[in-house]
Structure 1
Amino acid sequence: MKFLGNVLAVIIGLLIFSVMSFFIIAGIVAIAASSDSEVEIKENTVLVLNLEGRTIVERTSEDQFDFSSLPGFGGVANVGLLNLKKAISTAAKNDNVKGIYLKAGMVFAGQAMLQELREELKTFKESGKFIVSYSEIYTEGGYFLSSAADEIYLNPLGGLEFNGFSSEIIFFKGLFEKLEIEPVIFRVGEFKSAVEPFLLDKMSDENRLQTSVFLNDLNDFAISKVAESRGLPYEQVHEINNEMLVRKNADALELKLVDGLWYEDQVTDLIKEKLGLEEDKDIKTINVTTINKSSKSKNKLSKNKIAVIVAQGDIVSGTGEGVIASESFVKEVNRAKKDENVKAIVVRVNSPGGSALASEVMWRALSEAKKEKPVIASMGEYAASGGYYISAPADTIVAQPNTITGSIGIFGLWFNAEGLMKNKLGLTTDVVKTGELSDFLSFSRKLTDLEKSIYQSTVEDGYDTFISRVSEGRNMSKEEVLAVASGRVWSGIQAKENGLVDVLGNLEDAIEIAAKKVGVEDDYRIVYFPQEKPFIEKLLADLTNDVQTRYMQYKLGEFYPAYAQIERIKKYQGLMLRMPYDIIVE
C-alpha cells in the first residue's frame, strides 16, 4: 500500500506541475503578445541593466522579456550580449533616456564579453548621460564591468572581490585508478594539455607556464582598465589587487574603488536628484527588452547586408542545440554565400573547439565562401583549437585583448576498461574476428603496439593538416606556425604579437572592417544567422533539459563541474581540437 501511495503522490504531483506550467506559460504568451505594440519612451527615463545572477551569452531571442516577477521563475538565466549592446546604444541616442542604473555585481560572463559590454558603456558616457552602479556584492568580473560607471556604490554589509584571477583544474587520474580504467592518450605538442586531467594529478610545467602567462595578461589588462576608469595610478591598483587590500568594505571606500557604502534606497535618491525629481516621485524606468522594441525597425531599408554567423559552443558533427554543429553551420554559411544581397560574412566565434572532422568541414565551407565575398572572424570569449581552426580562413581576424585563443594542437583519447569490467563488475569478453585489426580500438583490452602506432600516425597527420590550414590562412610559413602552435593557449594581445590575430577589437569593429572591404560602410544592415527561435518556442524546447541540469546541480553541488566534464568526455569522438581544459577565470 505504501508503494501505491507513493506512486499516486508522484502522479498527482506531476499533474499539478503540468497544470501550473500550462497556466504560467499561457500567461507568458499573453504578456508577450500584448508587448508587441510600439514602445514609446517617456521623458526623464532611466535604463535599468539588472544583470545580477545572470549569464551573458552571445544573444537571446529578440522577443525575450523579463519575467523575473512571475512566481517560481526567479530571473531570466541568460541575457544576450548583442541585446544588451543594442539597448545601451539605443539609450545613448534617445534624448528621453537620461542615464543607466547598472546592477551587475554578480554577473556571470568571461572577460572578453565583459570588455565588449564595458566598451559600450564607455561609449554611452560620451553622450553626456550618467551611469550609476550599485550592488550588494561585487565579484571580480562584476566589478570590472561596473568600474565603467561614473559612480559605484556598495552595500555597507556587502563585499567586493578584487584579488586577481585564478583557474582551477579537476584531475581524474585518481578516479580512473580506483575504477581500474586506463586512459590512453595520443597527442602532438607539449602544450596540448587537454588530456592532462586524465593522466596527471597536477599541472605539467608546460601547462602551468601557459596558464600563468595568459592569466597574468588578462589580469593586467583588467587592472589597467579599472585604474583608467577610477582615475587611479596603475601601480596603486595593481598593489591593491595583488595583495588583496580590500578585506573589508571600508577598505574599498578608502582605496577609492567605490564612491560610497550606501543602501539601495540612498542610490535611488541619488538618481532622483540627477533627474531633478522630488523625493515622493517615482523614477520612470525601462528594461533591455522594452527599449530594444523601440528600435526594431531601424536600418531595415538597405539591400546591402553584412551577415553575422554566430558560432558558439563545442564543435560537433551533424546538428544539435547549444553547440556549433557542422551540418547546421555549413547550411548557414552557404545561405549567406548564395544571397546576392549579403556583401560580406562575419563569423562570430565563441568556442573552445571540439571535433577535428567537424572543424575541417566548417573550414571548407568558409574557404569556399571566401572565394566569393570577404570573410571576417570576430573572436569572443575564446576561439581556441577548433575555434581557431574555423577562424583561420578569414581575410581578417579580430579579437579582444583578453580573448583566449590559439591552442593549435590535436589529441585522441581512448579508454581501456578491462580492469573495470573484470575486477569491479565481474564481466569478461571474448571475440571472433576475420582480420588482425577487426576489433581495432576495443575498449575491453589493452591496445597493441600496432594499434597505437596507427592511431598516433592519424593524430600526427591531423596536426599537420591543422598547421597547413593556419599557414595558408595566415600567410605564414609552417615553421612560423609551429613556433606558436604545440597546443599553446594565448591571450588576444599575445596572439596579435604572434601573427595569429590581425586587429584587437570587438564585433562592431569586425563588421566595420567587412563593410569597408566591400565599400558599403555608409549603407548596410546587419543580419544574424542562424535565426533565433522565438522565446516561447525556445522556452518550451529547453524546459526539460533545464530542469534536469538544475536538478543535477542541486544534487551534486560543488561536484557538479566534475560530473559535467565526465558527461562531456562521453561525447568525445575521433580526433579532438580542443582547449587544454574548460578555462574558468575567477
Structure 2
Amino acid sequence: MKSFFKYVLATVTGIIICSLLMILVIIGIVTSMVSSVSSGKDTVTPSNAVLLITLDHTITEKTEPNPFEGLDMPGYSGLKSLGLNDMLGRIKAAKEDSNIKGVYLNVAGVNTGFASMKAIRDALLDFKESGKFIMAYSENYTQKGYYLSSVADQVYLHPEGGLDFRGLASSVMFLKDALDKLGIDMQVLKVGTYKSAVEPYMMNSMSPANREQVNSYLGSIYETFVQDIAASRKLTADSVKGIANAFAIQQPEDAVKVHFVDSLLYKDELLTKVRQRLDVAEKTEIPVISILDYKNKPATGKATGDRIAVLYAYGAIVDGEGTTGEIGGDKLSRELRELREDDKVKAVVMRVNSPGGSALASDIIWREVELTKKVKPVMVSMGDYAASGGYYISAAADSIFADPTTLTGSIGVFGVIPSFQKLFNEKLGVHFDAVKTAKFADMDVDMDRPLSEEEKNIIQGSVNRVYQVFMKRVADGRNMSIANVDSIGQGRVWTGAQAVDLKLVDRLASLDEAIKAAAQKAKITDYRVAEYPRTKDPFAEIWSVSKEKVKAMMIDEELGDYGKYLKELKKAVGHTGIQARIPYLIEIY
C-alpha cells in the first residue's frame, strides 16, 4: 500500500511539473511572438545595396499580420507573406532611396493573379525611370516568372536551366463523376447562360457557352501578356506569339536565340555582373536586402488632417463577420459606415479583389457604398478579380478602375442544394424519417431526399428575384438600362479591358491613379492615405487565429498546390444561400 501511494504521489507530482513546464513554454512562445511582431524595428538598409525580389512567398492583397511567422513549428515553418500594398510601396520607396542602387529579380514563379503581377511589373517599370538597374536571373522561369522578369534591363538564365513559354491555358476541375460515386446529387438552380460556377457539379467538361467566354477572356489576358513582353524585349507581338506557338524555347540556348534572355550565366558569373553595376571589386561582398525585410515607405507629402481611405475588400464574400482573407458582409459594411461618419476622411477608395460569394452579404455592402457615395466620393480599384458579388459591391461607386487583366462582370446568381440520398441510403445504409406540420417544412433542410418540382420552382423564383435586383443595382450605378445589363450579364466573365468597352468599368488605371481621382473629386490636394481595416494588435491576432485558419495553413504546408483540389471539393458541398460567385476556380497557366 505504501508503494502504491508512493507511485501515485510521484505520478501526480510529475503531471504538475509537466503542466507547469508546458505553461512556461506556451508563455515563452507567446511572449516571443508578441515581441517579435510588435517590436517592428526597421531593418537598416546598407549603402550601395541591391534590393532582392524573389516572390517565392504568398502575395495577398494587403499584408496580413502573421504572429507565427518565422517560428519553426509544425504547420507554420517558413510561412512568410507580403501584401501587394506593401510590395508596391517598398518598390516605390527603393526608387527614391539613395542606398538602393538596383533590383535583383530571382523569380522562378509568381504566386498571384495576373492583375497583381502586372501591378508589380508596372512598379518595376517606374523604378527603372530612376536610372537604377534591374537584373533578372533564374535557374528556371515559369511563364508568370518570365513575364515579370522580362521588365529587367538584362535577363539571364542558368546554362542548364529552362524557360517555359508555350502560351496560356485555363484549367477547370469537374466533380460530377466524383460526386456521383459519393452518391451526392448537387441540385442546381441558376440564372445566366454563362453562369458556369455550377458546371463542375453537373458536367465533366465545359459547356459551349462557357468555352466561348473562357476563350474570350483568356485571349484578352494573353494580348496584354504578349504586348508587355514584346515591348520590354524589343520584339513584335506576332514574333512572341510565334515563339509560343512553335514551342521554340526547348533548350537554354533557344532562349538566347529568340532574344528572350541576354545570355546564359552561372551564379558566380551573375554576381560578377552585379558587382560591375555596383562598381565594386570582384571579392567585395554584395550588400543585399530582401523586399521582405526592406521596410522603407514612399514619401507621402504633407500630412494634414484630411485623409483618403483605402478600404481593402479581398477574398470570398460571406455572411457575418468573416475571417482574415474573407469579406464579411457585416464587417465591411461597418467599416464603410465608420468611414462615412469620419469627417477627416474626405474620400474612400475600395480595393476589391473578390470572386464573389453570398448575394445577401453583397447587397448589405452595396447599401453602405450607396449611402457613403451620397456623403463623399467612393472609387473602386479592382485587383485580380472583381466578379459577380465582387462586381455587385462595386457597382454603386462613383467610378470604377480596373487592370486590363482583371476578371470582372459575371452578373448572375445561382443556388446549390446537395441531396445525400444515394450516399445515405445506398452506400451507407442510413435512412431518415420525419414528421412535419406543413408541406414545405423540411425543404432545404432534409438533405437525404431530392427537391420536388414544386420546391425547385420556389427556390428558382428566389434566384430569379436576386438576379433582377443584381441587374437593377448595376443599371442604377452605371446609368444603363436593365436590358443592356442583361445582355452583357447572364453570368459572363469579362476582362478589365473588355469591361471598359461595355461601360462596366470607367477606365484602366492603377490603385494610385484611383486615389488621385478620389482626391480630385473630393477637391483636396494635401492629404494622407490611410489603409483600412486597421491592422490588429499582434497579441489580439494570436488569439484570433481560428481552427479553420490553422487547418488551412497546415493543408497549404503539407499539400502545397494540390491543396486547392481538397478545398474545391469541400466548397462543392458547402454552399449555402444564393450565391453571386465567379465560375469555379479559374486558373491560368
With normalisation by structure 2, the TM-score equals: 0.90
The one-letter code matched in structure 2 to 1:244 is F
2:496 paired with 1:454: no
The one-letter code matched in structure 2 to 1:187 is K
2:190 paired with 1:187: yes
Residues in 1 aligned to 2:393 and 2:511: alpha-carbon distance in whole angstroms: 17
2:361 paired with 1:358: yes
Deviations, residues 468-521 of structure 1 (Å, cap 9, x unaligned): 00000000011111110000000111111111000101111111110111112x
Partner of 1:36: 41
2:491 paired with 1:494: no
Provide the secondary structure at the position in 2 that maps to 1:58. coil
Residues in 2 aligned to 1:380 and 1:336: alpha-carbon distance in whole angstroms: 21
Provide the secondary structure at the position in 1 that maps to 2:171. coil
Partner of 1:6: none
The one-letter code matched in structure 1 to 2:448 is S
2:254 paired with 1:259: no
Change (3 A) 1:482 1:246: same
Residues in 2 aligned to 1:339 and 1:583: alpha-carbon distance in whole angstroms: 38
Change (3 A) 1:540 1:342: same
Change (3 A) 1:535 1:109: farther
1:414 to 394, 401, 417: 417
Shift of 1:571: 3.5
Please tell me whether the aligned partners of residues 62 and 83 of structure 1 are also in contact (alpha carbons under 8 angstroms).
no
Partner of 1:120: 123
Shift of 1:533: 2.6
1:518 to 519, 522, 533: 522
Provide the secondary structure at the position in 2 that maps to 1:350. strand
Please tell me whether the aligned partners of residues 189 and 415 of structure 2 are also in contact (alpha carbons under 8 angstroms).
yes
Shift of 1:42: 3.9
Shift of 1:184: 1.1
2:252 paired with 1:249: yes
Deviations, residues 5-62 of structure 1 (Å, cap 9, x unaligned): xxxxxxxx9999998887677556555566526x6544312222221x2121112158
Change (3 A) 1:229 1:542: farther
Residues in 2 aligned to 1:546 and 1:61: alpha-carbon distance in whole angstroms: 13
With normalisation by structure 1, the TM-score equals: 0.91
Partner of 2:570: 567
Q: Which runs of 5+ in 1 are unaligned?
A: 1-12
Change (3 A) 1:295 1:444: closer
Number of residue pairs aligned between Structure 1 and Structure 2: 571
Change (3 A) 1:21 1:154: farther
Please tell me whether the aligned partners of residues 402 and 493 of structure 1 are also in contact (alpha carbons under 8 angstroms).
yes
Residues in 2 aligned to 1:378 and 1:153: alpha-carbon distance in whole angstroms: 34
2:442 to 411, 431, 439: 439
Please tell me whether the aligned partners of residues 66 and 289 of structure 1 are also in contact (alpha carbons under 8 angstroms).
no
2:210 paired with 1:207: yes
Provide the secondary structure at the position in 1 that maps to 2:261. coil
1:346 to 341, 349, 368: 349
Partner of 2:11: none
2:137 paired with 1:138: no
Please tell me whether the aligned partners of residues 404 and 489 of structure 1 are also in contact (alpha carbons under 8 angstroms).
yes
Q: Which runs of 5+ in 2 are unaligned?
A: 1-17
Change (3 A) 1:357 1:72: closer
Please tell me whether the aligned partners of residues 401 and 514 of structure 2 are also in contact (alpha carbons under 8 angstroms).
yes
- Of the structure 1 ranges 265-274 and 297-306, higher mean CA displacement relative to structure 2 is found in 297-306
Change (3 A) 1:579 1:419: same
Change (3 A) 1:40 1:315: same
Shift of 1:265: 2.2
The one-letter code matched in structure 1 to 2:125 is K
Deviations, residues 69-93 of structure 1 (Å, cap 9, x unaligned): 9999764442211111111111111
Residues in 1 aligned to 2:64 and 2:192: alpha-carbon distance in whole angstroms: 41
Residues in 2 aligned to 1:440 and 1:70: alpha-carbon distance in whole angstroms: 46
Change (3 A) 1:27 1:434: closer
The alignment's C-alpha RMSD in Å is 2.8
Provide the secondary structure at the position in 2 that maps to 1:78. coil
2:404 paired with 1:380: no
Residues in 2 aligned to 1:556 and 1:274: alpha-carbon distance in whole angstroms: 41
Percent identity reads 38
Residues in 2 aligned to 1:138 and 1:24: alpha-carbon distance in whole angstroms: 39
Change (3 A) 1:261 1:354: same
Please tell me whether the aligned partners of residues 109 and 141 of structure 1 are also in contact (alpha carbons under 8 angstroms).
no
2:319 paired with 1:333: no
Change (3 A) 1:351 1:533: same
1:316 to 294, 298, 318: 318
Provide the secondary structure at the position in 1 that maps to 2:82. strand
Residues in 1 aligned to 2:90 and 2:574: alpha-carbon distance in whole angstroms: 37
Deviations, residues 303-330 of structure 1 (Å, cap 9, x unaligned): 1111111000000010121200011101
The one-letter code matched in structure 1 to 2:281 is E
Please tell me whether the aligned partners of residues 424 and 431 of structure 2 are also in contact (alpha carbons under 8 angstroms).
yes
Residues in 2 aligned to 1:525 and 1:574: alpha-carbon distance in whole angstroms: 40
Q: Give matches, 1:197-236, under 5 Å.
A: 197-236=200-239
Partner of 1:8: none
Provide the secondary structure at the position in 2 that maps to 1:500. coil
Deviations, residues 100-122 of structure 1 (Å, cap 9, x unaligned): 11122222111100001111100
Change (3 A) 1:15 1:480: farther
- Of the structure 1 ranges 15-24 and 342-351, higher mean CA displacement relative to structure 2 is found in 15-24
Partner of 2:52: 48
Please tell me whether the aligned partners of residues 34 and 538 of structure 2 are also in contact (alpha carbons under 8 angstroms).
no
2:477 paired with 1:476: no
Partner of 1:4: none
Residues in 2 aligned to 1:25 and 1:137: alpha-carbon distance in whole angstroms: 39
Shift of 1:182: 1.8
Residues in 2 aligned to 1:155 and 1:66: alpha-carbon distance in whole angstroms: 31
Please tell me whether the aligned partners of residues 63 and 289 of structure 1 are also in contact (alpha carbons under 8 angstroms).
no
Shift of 1:134: 1.3
Shift of 1:226: 0.3
Change (3 A) 1:135 1:545: farther
- Of the structure 1 ranges 492-501 and 442-451, higher mean CA displacement relative to structure 2 is found in 442-451
Deviations, residues 394-448 of structure 1 (Å, cap 9, x unaligned): 1100000000001000001112211211111111112211211121233122212
Partner of 1:577: 580
- Of the structure 1 ranges 373-382 and 66-75, higher mean CA displacement relative to structure 2 is found in 66-75
Residues in 2 aligned to 1:307 and 1:456: alpha-carbon distance in whole angstroms: 39
